[in-house]
Structure 1
C-alpha cells in the first residue's frame, strides 16, 4: 500500500543547493517511490556548534516501501553524496535526509522515530512542510503542521531564492 511521506532535506557544506538537487534526483530514482511535490528552499541558522548556514527543503513522496527500508535508502543517498559518520551529532554536513512524517503513522524503533522527534520545534522543517501540507496532522501531538508552526517562537529561517532547485512548490509529473 502506498503512503504519503514527507522527507526533510538539508545541507550546509559545499554547493548546498546542488547537493539538494542531487538528493532530489536520487529520491526520484528509488523504485517504489514517486516524488510528488517539493517545497521552496529555506535558509536557516544551524542548530548546535558554530558552522555554516543550512539550506533546507521538504519533499512529498508517495512510497510503497516500509519505513525502515526507506531509511536505509536515504542513508545510502547521504553516503553517496559525501556524508561521513561524524563524532558530533549536530556538526556540519553535506547532506541530511530525515523522514519527518509518514501519513499519520507512528514508527518507534531504535533507528527510526516518525514523526521526527524534533519536528514540532524546528521552523526550518515546519516552514517548508507547511508550504506542502499545512493541514496534515502530527499523529502524536494532534495538531496540524500550520498549528505547530504558529506556536513556534521566531527562528532565523527565511525563504531562499533558488538557481537550480525546481520552481516551487513543484508538482512532479511523469514525462
Structure 2
C-alpha cells in the first residue's frame, strides 16, 4: 500500500542547487517510490552556528516502502552525496533529506519522528510544503500546512529562481 510522503531537501555547501538535483535524481531511482511533484527553491538563513544560507525544497513522493526503509535509503543518498554521518548538529552540510509528513502516519521511534518534530516551527520547510500541499494535515497538531504557516512569524526565507531544478509543481520525468 502506498502513501504520499513529503521530503524536505536542503543544502548549504558546494553547488547547492546541483546537490538538490542529485538528491532528487537519486530519489527517482528508488524502487517502490515515484516522484510526484517538486516545490520551488527557497533560500533560508541557517538554524544553528554561523554558516552559509541554505537552499531548500520539498518533494512529494508516492511511496510503497515502510517509513524506516525510506529513511535508510535517504541516509544512504546523503552519504553518497558527501554528507558525513555524525557531523555538527545544525552545522553546514552538502545535503540534508528529512521526511516531513507521511500521509496517514505518525512515527515515533528513536531514529525517526514523523511528522518532523520541528516542521511547525520552520518556514523554510513549510513554505515549499505549502506549494505542494496547503491542505495536508499535521496529524499531531490537527492543523493544515496553510494554518501552520499562517501562525509562523516571518523568517529569512525567500523563493529563488532555479537554473537546474525542475519546473515548479510539474511532475519529474526521467
TM-score, L = length of structure 2: 0.98
Residue correspondence of structure 1 range 51-130 to structure 2 within 5 A: 51-130=51-130
Q: CA deviation at 1:104?
A: 2.6
Q: CA deviation at 1:88?
A: 1.7
SS in 1 for 2:138: coil
Say whether 1:139 aligns with 2:152.
no
Superposed CA RMSD: 0.9
Q: Decide whether the 8 Å contact of 1:38 with 1:60 is kept in 2.
A: yes
Q: CA deviation at 1:147?
A: 0.3
2:15 aligns to what?
15
How many residue pairs get matched? 174
C-alpha distance in 2 between matches for 1:111 and 1:171: 30
1:156 aligns to what?
156
C-alpha distance in 2 between matches for 1:87 and 1:26: 22
4+ residue runs of structure 1 moved beyond 3 angstroms?
none
Q: CA deviation at 1:164?
A: 0.3
C-alpha distance in 2 between matches for 1:85 and 1:7: 19
2:166 aligns to what?
166
Q: CA deviation at 1:85?
A: 2.1
The gaps in structure 1 that reach 5 residues or longer are none
2:5 aligns to what?
5
Q: Decide whether the 8 Å contact of 2:166 with 2:172 is kept in 1.
A: no
